[in-house]
Chains A and B, each alone.
Chain A
Amino acid sequence: AQTVTQSQPEMSVQEAETVTLSCTYDTSESDYYLFWYKQPPSRQMILVIRQEAYKQQNATENRFSVNFQKAAKSFSLKISDSQLGDAAMYFCAYSTSGTYKYIFGTGTRLKVLA
């Protein structure tokens, strides 16, 4: 069975600085998708970034980028120029190609310090 692990329950970053959130996963599949979602206190889940396993290039969305290491089964999220609005719970998620179902990690609470 697939698993997703986020080993950092909580992280803090100074405003305008850079922070990296860690995620590791376990799967025997070769074709899958990885996601980072943000859940602010309002609880609306927002998709931050997506990575297809078959793509070697790391995904980037504005200030958000990932470091995808397929062999190591690692999928970290880097947030550059952190803003107060980035404060939220961040969830890493995995989906095997063809199933559309997600497996979520336990989440990392990010605090942004002014």
Chain B
Amino acid sequence: DIQMTQSPASLSASLGETVTIECRTSEDIYSNLAWYHQKPGNSPQLLIYDANSLADGVPSRFSGSGSGTQYSLKINSLQSEDVASYFCQQYNNYPYTFGAGTKLELK
């Protein structure tokens, strides 16, 4: 299985700040990576697919980048509604695997 190492596990940031979440994979996944966020009590929601493509309806302050085994999600100008847990997921190999998650809180 491809191992997903996501960091940091938790993050505290202020409104308007830029935050970055990293995801490292145990082997090359050729940009077959998605990012999701999950607000408390809700289902996960797709933010980014194919490492850097913005999903429909997702605000442009979210962006993804990376290649090979290193990927990142950036949130510009943090808003209160961005408080959530964030997960990366690879879909290059079966079984699909998820990162352990990053809990983003407001400072």
Q: Do A and B bind each other?
A: no
Q: What residues make up the interface of A, taking CB atoms closer than 8 Å to B?
A: none
Q: What residues make up the interface of B, taking CB atoms closer than 8 Å to A?
A: none
